[in-house]
Every structure is written in structure tokens, then in C-alpha cells.
Amino acid sequence: MRVHVISDMEGVGGIVKPEQTNAGKPMFEEGRKLYTQEINAAVRGAKAAGATEIVVMDCHGAGEGFTFNSLVAEDLDPACEFVVQEEWAGYTEFLEQGCDAALFVGMHAMAGTRDGVLNHTVSGVDWHNLWFNGTLVGETGINAALCGTWGCPVVLVTGDDAACREATELLGAGLTTVCVKQGLGGRSARMLTPARARDLIEEGARNALSNLSAVEPYDPGKPCEVKVEYKSTGPPQRLRFQFGVELLDDRTIVSRADDWWTAWKQFFFAA
Ligand SMILES: [Zn+2]
């Protein structure tokens, strides 16, 4: 069994402040350790479920050299391999080769979710809202659509209660979720201790991988329309001559194609 662990940092237990997730801040070192240990918990669970190949892909843009490179390599479980990519969704090889399931660890809720700890979509500075064929989505939706492009189902999502709720609404009741904190606001939460969170994630990963057909691979639909409402007029202006992209108004673009991945590629990597 081949398992992809796709991860973000804001949804990790013990993390609640931006200073824990941004490179260059003293608290970032603590955040990286908490993050790495949650990944290890998912790896242990996958291994216990019979995974023979486990590849971890960090999708957190911490800034500086830590972007997509926040895990403490020295502390990672030897049962996994890990990818440091240059751009988010830039690494697709493991999915292309055929992956049995994905586990999403440390996810946060979409921008505008009141009880979502550190909630945002892609960029807190530039992005306001994102839709796939009319459905409002966050980063779980993006990563799930990426997996779904190659037929890989997402069977586990961990994060705060808001991220788990968002994931279940999108992917269905068959999804296993592990809630490690209850957001009280964007930068406050009632949390499990990291040790307890890791136990639950290990158990959740093992259980989720025992039934790979519990969740269908996610497909936003064909043809596919990706709509982004930005916070300012700059990003749409930079995309105005991009093939397949139309400006709906000064802050909103729509990218249309036969399938989600084509629609995503034709604007996301160009912006
Ligand atoms: Zn992140």
C-alpha cells in the first residue's frame, strides 16, 4: 500500500499563533517540532495499517528557506520519505505513479471561518474566496482535487474542529477526521496536549487506511471552473492575458478547462 501524507502546519495541536508557523520567529522552532511529531504519528499509523511506501509532502509556506520545508528532517520517522517542493502542488510524481490513499495532517479551515484557527485560503494577504464549480472550498479542497486527479482518495483529515467539519462537508461522511483543537477564534483555541493529539492521529490513520473505499476520490467536476476572488486588483491584472482565464470583475478571475487540474495549472503557476 502506497500512502501520501500531505500536510500543513496551522492545524497541528499546540499551534495557535502565526509566530509558531512563520520562519524567522523564535517560536517557529517549537512549531516545527510539534508539526514533525504529528507527521510521525500519521506515519506510525500508516505503517501499522500495512503501508509499504509512505511519502510526506509539506505544503506549508513558512517563508524563507523553510517554505515547503518546515519539517525537522532529523526527527522524522525512518519509515517515511519526504519531499521538499519548490511550489505548492508542484510535486505530483507519487500520485502519478499510483497512490492508494492520502492522509491530510495539520489542515486549517478556509478563509472567513470564524472558529478556524489561523484560517485562510492559499494566501492570507491576497486571496479572499475560492470556488470549484460554484462550491466554496479551502486548502483541503485544493489538495483533495490534486489527489483526485490521479484517482487517490483522501481518507483522513486532521486539524481543528472547523477544518474537520469543512473536510467532511466536502468529502463525505466516510472520511475519518481527528480534531486536535477547538478554535475559539482565529488565534485562540482549546487544545488537546500534543501527546494526546498524536495518539489520536496514529489511531485515526490506522483506522482510516483499513477501508480505502470509504471515501471516493474527489473530483470537482468536468468541465471545471475555478473562481478566485482576490483581496486586491493586482493579481487579476497579472493574469489578464493568461489562456483560459477571464476577469469577472477587477478582483475576481475565473479559469475554465475540461478538468480541474488543467483549470488550476493555467492560472495558479502563472500568478
Ligand atoms: Zn500553512
What is the pLDDT at residue 124?
87
Torsions phi, psi of 158, nearest 5?
Answer: -120, 155
According to DSSP, the residues that pair with 3 across neighbouring strands are 54, 101
pTM for the structure as a whole = 0.97
How far apart are the CA of 193 and the centre of ligand 1, in A? 20
203-237 pLDDT, tens digit each: 999 999 999 999 999 999 999 999 999 999 999 99
- pLDDT above 70 covers a percentage of the chain that reads 100
How far apart are the CA of 106 and the centre of ligand 1, in A? 8
- pLDDT above 90 covers a percentage of the chain that reads 99
pLDDT bucket at 19, cuts 50 / 70 / 90: very high
How far apart are the CA of 122 and the centre of ligand 1, in A? 8
Give which of 157, 146, 110, 113 is closest to 131, Cα–Cα.
110
How far apart are the CA of 24 and the centre of ligand 1, in A? 15
pLDDT of 136 higher than 80:
yes
Q: Which CATH class is domain 2-119+138-208?
A: alpha beta
pLDDT of 270 higher than 90:
no
192-212 pLDDT, tens digit each: 999 999 999 999 999 999 999
pLDDT of 271 higher than 80:
no
**C-alpha cell of residue 200:** 489520536
According to DSSP, the residues that pair with 107 across neighbouring strands are 159
Neighbours of ion ligand 1 (CB under 5 A): 8-10, 60
Residue spans of the domains in the chain: they are 2-119+138-208, 224-268
Please tell me the distance from the alpha carbon of residue 118 to that of residue 186, in angstroms, as a whole number: 5
74-83 pLDDT, tens digit each: 999 999 999 9
Query: What's the rounded mean pLDDT across residues 236-260?
Result: 97
Pairing of strands 2-7, 101-107: parallel
How far apart are the CA of 108 and the centre of ligand 1, in A? 8
How far apart are the CA of 103 and the centre of ligand 1, in A? 16
CA distances from 115 to 15, 22, 186, 231 (A): 14, 21, 6, 21
Query: What's the rounded mean pLDDT across residues 239-261?
Result: 97
How far apart are the CA of 112 and the centre of ligand 1, in A? 15
Average pLDDT score, the chain? 97
For cell 472550498, name the residue.
137
Query: What's the rounded mean pLDDT across residues 14-27?
Result: 97
What is the pLDDT at residue 22?
97
How far apart are the CA of 61 and the centre of ligand 1, in A? 6
How far apart are the CA of 63 and the centre of ligand 1, in A? 10
Query: What's the rounded mean pLDDT across residues 149-163?
Result: 98
Query: What's the rounded mean pLDDT across residues 97-109?
Result: 98
Q: 173 CB contacts (<8 Å, ≥6 apart)?
A: none
How far apart are the CA of 12 and the centre of ligand 1, in A? 10
CA distances from 7 to 25, 184, 260 (A): 21, 22, 21
Pairing of strands 154-160, 101-107: parallel
What is the pLDDT at residue 233?
97
32-61 pLDDT, tens digit each: 999 999 999 999 999 999 999 999 999 999
